[in-house]
Amino acid sequence: MAANFWTSSHSKLLIDQDEVDMVPSMDKEKGLTLEDFKLIKIHMTNYIWKLAQLIKVRQRVIATAVTYFRRVYTRKSMSEYDPRLLAPTCLYLASKAEESTVQARLIVFYIKKHSTDEKYRFEVKDILEMEMKLLEALDYYLIVYHPYRSLIIAGCGMADLTHLSWGIVNDTYRMDLILIYAPFKIALACIYIATVLKEKDSTFMIKNISMEILEFYDVYKQVIPDDRIIAALNRLTSKA
């Protein structure tokens, strides 16, 4: 993984809201509206979440899988890439990318165990074949940065806010925010929402820091004369 977000492929792949809210022409021809498009993505995000919880994978794997899923549909149509097959395939690929590999047969086992709809029931070969199409759709860019790390750093010392913010971050994956904004911005927005919900003054600490910076500018806006520094240093060597 790149040392920081701004030099990563994830940063270069950020797109505008307008690009996210485009229904591919093949889907439009079948009568799919933008609202339909969004609802399917929300539903399949929930499906990935439920499937992942049954398999018991790490939170990061789930977030990466959802990011892959949503990124594909900024480039490909649902007519070409069946969401019902793409969703478990994204989970499979994400588990490998995040070094928490889940066997495809285990995913298939839980799909068959908990899904009664035949249109959701796939075999291992289906997932392996879709994996190759998924990799091509992603241009083999698999690195994804998530808000969780920034959340922990920014929320240090505020355990109750961090816990609530974490849940809000999870909810952001039911939207396309991870495709549009840098992860740290999402984290800050979630912390802000948490402070509002907890009825805490989110600006108190920021105001204090800001006042210190402004006071520094006011007091030290002029260049400090060398003789003033020399005089201060000389006091260190003078006898009491």
Domain stops at, among 115, 137, 159: 137
Total domains in the chain come to: 2
Question: Domain of 79: which CATH number?
Answer: 1.10.472.10
Q: Phi first, then psi: give them for residue 95, nearest 5 degrees.
A: -65, -35
Domain annotation covers residue 176: yes
In a shared domain, residues 204 and 110 = no
Instruction: Give me the domain span that covers residue 71.
Output: 5-137
Do 107 and 125 touch, CB atoms closer than 8 A? no
Per-residue model confidence as pLDDT tens digits over 193-217: 888 887 766 555 556 666 776 777 7
Domain stops at, among 94, 118, 137: 137
User: Residues 6 or more apart from 39 whose CB is under 8 A from it?
Assistant: none
Report d(CA 172, CA 178) in Å as an integer. 8
Report d(CA 14, CA 103) in Å as an integer. 30
Domain annotation covers residue 142: no
In a shared domain, residues 173 and 204 = yes
Do 59 and 69 touch, CB atoms closer than 8 A? no
pLDDT at 157: 56
In a shared domain, residues 67 and 95 = yes
pLDDT in tens, the chain (240 residues): 556 888 888 989 999 999 999 999 999 999 999 999 999 999 999 999 999 999 999 999 999 999 999 999 999 999 999 999 999 999 999 999 999 999 999 999 999 988 888 888 899 999 999 999 999 999 999 999 999 988 877 655 566 777 888 999 999 999 999 999 999 999 988 888 888 887 766 555 556 666 776 777 777 777 778 787 778 778 777 665
Domain stops at, among 102, 137, 172: 137
In a shared domain, residues 121 and 218 = no
In a shared domain, residues 125 and 155 = no
Sole residue written with tokens 């995040």: 98
Report d(CA 91, CA 51) in Å as an integer. 9
Q: Phi first, then psi: give them for residue 223, nearest 5 degrees.
A: -65, 130
**Dihedral over Cα of 128, 60, 73, 19: its sign:** negative
User: Residues 6 or more apart from 15 whose CB is under 8 A from it?
Assistant: 74, 179, 180
Do 193 and 163 touch, CB atoms closer than 8 A? no
With b for 16 or more beta-carbon neighbours within 10 A and e for fewer, the 32-47 pattern comes to: beeeebbebbeebbeb
In a shared domain, residues 38 and 16 = yes
Element (H, E) at 80: none
In a shared domain, residues 133 and 158 = no
In a shared domain, residues 158 and 188 = yes
In a shared domain, residues 122 and 219 = no
Provide the 3-class DSSP secondary structure of residue 57: coil
